[in-house]
Structure 1
Amino acid sequence: MREHIDNNARIGTKAVWGGEKDFRVFGATQVPVVLSVAYDYSDVDEWQEVALGNKPGYTYNRMSNPTVRAMEEKVRLLEEAEEAIAFSSGMAAISSALYTFLRPGDRVVSVKDTYGGTNKIFTEFLPQIHVETVLCNTGDHEEIEREIAKGCNVLYLESPTNPTLKITDIERLAKAAKAVGALVMVDNTFATPINQNPLKLGVDLVIHSATKFLSGHADVLGGVVCGSAALMEKVYHYREIHGANLDPWAAYLILRGMKTLKLRVRQQAQSAMEIARFLQKHPLVESVNYPGLETHPHHDIAKKQMNGFGGILSVVLKGEMETIKLLLPRLQYANRAGNLGAVETIYGPARTTSHVECTLEERRALGISEGLLRISVGIEDTEDLIADLSQALAYVESQMPLSIHNL
């Protein structure tokens, strides 16, 4: 089953209504959580047809589930994809997409600034199956294009990157990849479908950690991959056999969270911009990473390919970890946690969040300072968040030696 949404419906309307109508039962206004592991068939021939995928239906939850299908359908509509497949976590989605299409002897081109878990796949796990990985300087489009031209089976991008908020020109690099027959994958977690639709820029597969903005409430793990029906059939088969399927209850929570996605993202982006401008002027701040700032090195690219700049920023603080350790306990409206995209504001240094898997030396090699602090802006009132930051920074200033201020 596949419902037909008015093509003129805007993305906020799709976030509320998309993917649900065909899955409601008994006149309910909400999609139910279907917890049954298996499904009963009195007709063995029909059972087999459903099991083989020749007829719509459900046989076993590792293959498919009505609540999960509703969640997949909503993401599919938001990304304007032909199909979407859900996974048990964002990393399950990322790793499954890569392992579905890569074989020994293949070559992957990516960037240095991917999420730490993704970076580990490139530097540790793919080499174990003899897949060559080349990690280029993020933002150096000429270098990336040169490496693609040398041979490339998969181009993997993340834009904006976690936690450095760097931007790559997705359309430009997708064209270069297509010229050599490569598959293009983009992690769209930070941007969300509200702010960026990579499929329109020539990308083959779009990946989300649904744990983050799609859910929005920090209470569920999930991931999703979107793309053409032909490619998604292969991704589905990999998930079916490897078993990283999404739990129905988790799918329900993500489905519910997505209803307010546009409203949340809009507020978060507005606050993130104002917080970024506030931090730019603070004497304890060395630099601010946010693509909405005119000072961002790829601000023009972000303007071209994004509809908004998102709710994440990062800041490099003078005094590095000493400053961070003084700052974090003083914040009132903050969770100090390894998550992002929630309705509450979340702070965390790279060494305990995005790149906790990496050593100090590995983080430095990736250009991630010990003073880098990621801020996932929530939906609180902007003025309260800035006032909270201001009082916490004032406390840090009172405790730090004057020499730090002059760095």
Structure 2
Amino acid sequence: MNDRSHLTTRAARAGAHVAPGTALPLVPALHQTTVYGYPDLASLHRVNNGEERGQAYYRFGHYNGQVLEQAVADLEGAPDAVTTASGMAAITGTVLALAETGDHVVADRNVYGGTRSLLETDLPRLGIHTTLVDGADLTEVGRALTPRTKLVLVEALTNPTVRVPDLPALSALAGHVGAKLVVDGTFVTPALLRPLDHGADLVWHSVPKYLGGHSAAMGGVVAGPRDLTARIRQSIIHLGATVGPFDAWMALLGLKTLGLRMQAHSQGATAVAEFLAAHPAVTHVNHPSRPDHPQAATAAKLYPDGTGGMLSFALAGGRPAVDQLISRLNQTIPLSPSLADVSTTMIHPATTTHKDLPREELDALGITDGLIRLSVGIEDPADLIAELGAALAP
């Protein structure tokens, strides 16, 4: 730059031409920019045409998003991945990319409330209709499938009753009608289960949960074969639902400890579930490690390394007992409308995550007024058990 240029000119261009050194940082650099400069049109055209890797404008993809995509694809054993601005952006972009007017979706009625709202409120306006089923009941799933079914949507572990669908069996059923099996892997992560290894076509995650691990990074991600992710990527670009560089960068930092965290989450939840199951104030516990869980055999087959930190339990005292528990634990285990943090949190599904469902459907799903969902963190299980024991005391 000409040293005799005006200060306003030099300030506007400051740092733009400082090249990085030859050494690679241990943490990928944060490229907090929305646009990139090119030396000539030929270079820009090569990137836009997919002939070489690069970035032009953030909505079409950027460096930090691409690093996170590569990392998640590698962990999931997938050829490719697409990052998005949120988990809901991930599933919305996926459905809109793979289904059109007149198509049919089969979904587990236990899926996340936001997913159900998309399926029951938004998609019908586009002529895409959904049949809700019990994803763990293969007969019911089979009856719901039609030649127009394009997608079968399930969660690897459901929220909040932690049911366990048989992914290989669902994959076979979906394949009979040419449908794609799409699995929400948020509760398990590739540290515990890689759905693509069990016949799923796509797996998606809400990044703020276990992948990021610290309730800080926002975003979503979908992993699978390139022919599908290419269509989803275009959908995300059209929706303007690209993840931000800083969120992608933070998520990658959290991803580095994923294996260690998921091991601790799993061990802690199993110990806490055992304690709660024996407590007189608790009527039942939903956790796949329990022998009384309805899909215990499927869980043992699919999850030899544990099932993560999610569990739910019902209090004999109903809603008054829930309110008392929340009050007694507010200094140690907070009430939080999310999950999968390194610290333990809880929520009351009937009045939060599933509040829009009618009472009869809540009852059918096992979401009673006395049900608490507990997201067990990485704290020492003995401390959590002591805190819960004191709070549940008469």
Give TM-score, length-normalised by structure 1. Answer: 0.88
- Structure 1 equivalent of residue 321 of structure 2: 323
Residue from 127, 130, 134 that aligns with 2:131: 134
- Structure 2 equivalent of residue 5 of structure 1: none
Could you tell me whether the CA contact under 8 Å between 2:104 and 2:151 is conserved in 1? Answer: yes
Residue from 273, 278, 286 that aligns with 2:275: 278
- CA shift in 2, pair 1:110/1:204, >3 Å: same
Q: Distance in 2 between matches of 1:275 and 1:240?
A: 43
- CA shift in 2, pair 1:120/1:373, >3 Å: same
Measured against aligned partners, the alpha-carbon deviations of 1:179-205 in whole angstroms (never above 9, x if no partner) come to 111111000111111111110111111
Letter in 2 for 1:56: R
| Matched residue SS, 1:310 | coil
- Structure 2 equivalent of residue 288 of structure 1: 285
Residue 312, structure 1, aligned to residue 320, structure 2: no
1:358 Cα deviation from its structure 2 partner: 3.9
1:319 Cα deviation from its structure 2 partner: 2.2
Could you tell me whether the CA contact under 8 Å between 1:47 and 1:59 is conserved in 2? Answer: yes
| Matched residue SS, 1:287 | strand
Could you tell me whether the CA contact under 8 Å between 2:171 and 2:200 is conserved in 1? Answer: yes
Q: Distance in 2 between matches of 1:357 and 1:73?
A: 37
| Matched residue SS, 1:185 | strand
Measured against aligned partners, the alpha-carbon deviations of 1:108-161 in whole angstroms (never above 9, x if no partner) come to 111111111111112211111121211112421111112125652111111210
- CA shift in 2, pair 1:371/1:276, >3 Å: same
| Matched residue SS, 2:60 | coil
Q: Where does the alignment leave 5 or more consecutive residues of structure 1 unmatched?
A: 1-22, 398-407
- Structure 1 equivalent of residue 349 of structure 2: 350
Q: Distance in 1 between matches of 2:263 and 2:119?
A: 33
Could you tell me whether the CA contact under 8 Å between 1:117 and 1:357 is conserved in 2? Answer: no
- CA shift in 2, pair 1:219/1:359, >3 Å: farther
- Structure 2 equivalent of residue 380 of structure 1: 379
Could you tell me whether the CA contact under 8 Å between 1:90 and 1:208 is conserved in 2? Answer: yes
1:25 Cα deviation from its structure 2 partner: 6.6
- Structure 2 equivalent of residue 338 of structure 1: 337
1:28 Cα deviation from its structure 2 partner: 1.7
- Structure 2 equivalent of residue 390 of structure 1: 389
- Structure 1 equivalent of residue 228 of structure 2: 231
- CA shift in 2, pair 1:185/1:84, >3 Å: same
- CA shift in 2, pair 1:76/1:353, >3 Å: farther
Could you tell me whether the CA contact under 8 Å between 1:24 and 1:30 is conserved in 2? Answer: no
Q: Distance in 1 between matches of 2:147 and 2:277?
A: 40
Measured against aligned partners, the alpha-carbon deviations of 1:268-326 in whole angstroms (never above 9, x if no partner) come to 11010011011111111111000111111101111111232111100111222211100
- CA shift in 2, pair 1:25/1:315, >3 Å: farther
Residue 87, structure 1, aligned to residue 92, structure 2: no
Q: Where does the alignment leave 5 or more consecutive residues of structure 2 unmatched?
A: 1-19
Moved runs in structure 1, 4+ residues, more than 6 A? Answer: none
Could you tell me whether the CA contact under 8 Å between 1:117 and 1:355 is conserved in 2? Answer: no
Larger radius of gyration: 2
1:100 Cα deviation from its structure 2 partner: 1.1
Residue 198, structure 1, aligned to residue 195, structure 2: yes
Letter in 1 for 2:385: I
Residue 219, structure 1, aligned to residue 233, structure 2: no
Measured against aligned partners, the alpha-carbon deviations of 1:17-64 in whole angstroms (never above 9, x if no partner) come to xxxxxx997432211110121111121122122123232111011111
Could you tell me whether the CA contact under 8 Å between 1:149 and 1:176 is conserved in 2? Answer: no
- CA shift in 2, pair 1:311/1:363, >3 Å: same
Could you tell me whether the CA contact under 8 Å between 2:350 and 2:367 is conserved in 1? Answer: no
Residue 162, structure 1, aligned to residue 159, structure 2: yes
Give TM-score, length-normalised by structure 2. Answer: 0.91
Question: Over aligned residues, Cα RMSD in angstroms?
Answer: 1.7
Residue 47, structure 1, aligned to residue 40, structure 2: no
Q: Equivalent residues in 2 for 1:148-159 (5 A)?
A: 148=145, 151-159=148-156
Q: Distance in 1 between matches of 2:254 and 2:373?
A: 23
Q: Distance in 2 between matches of 1:64 and 1:138?
A: 34
Q: Distance in 1 between matches of 2:360 and 2:69?
A: 39
1:96 Cα deviation from its structure 2 partner: 1.1
Q: Distance in 2 between matches of 1:24 and 1:154?
A: 47
Number of residue pairs the alignment of both structures matches: 373
Could you tell me whether the CA contact under 8 Å between 1:88 and 1:222 is conserved in 2? Answer: yes
| Matched residue SS, 1:304 | helix
Moved more, 71-80 or 146-155: 146-155
- Structure 2 equivalent of residue 145 of structure 1: 142
1:362 Cα deviation from its structure 2 partner: 4.9
Letter in 1 for 2:320: E
Q: Distance in 2 between matches of 1:344 and 1:309?
A: 17
Letter in 1 for 2:233: Y
Q: Distance in 1 between matches of 2:246 and 2:230?
A: 24
Q: Distance in 2 between matches of 1:38 and 1:256?
A: 23
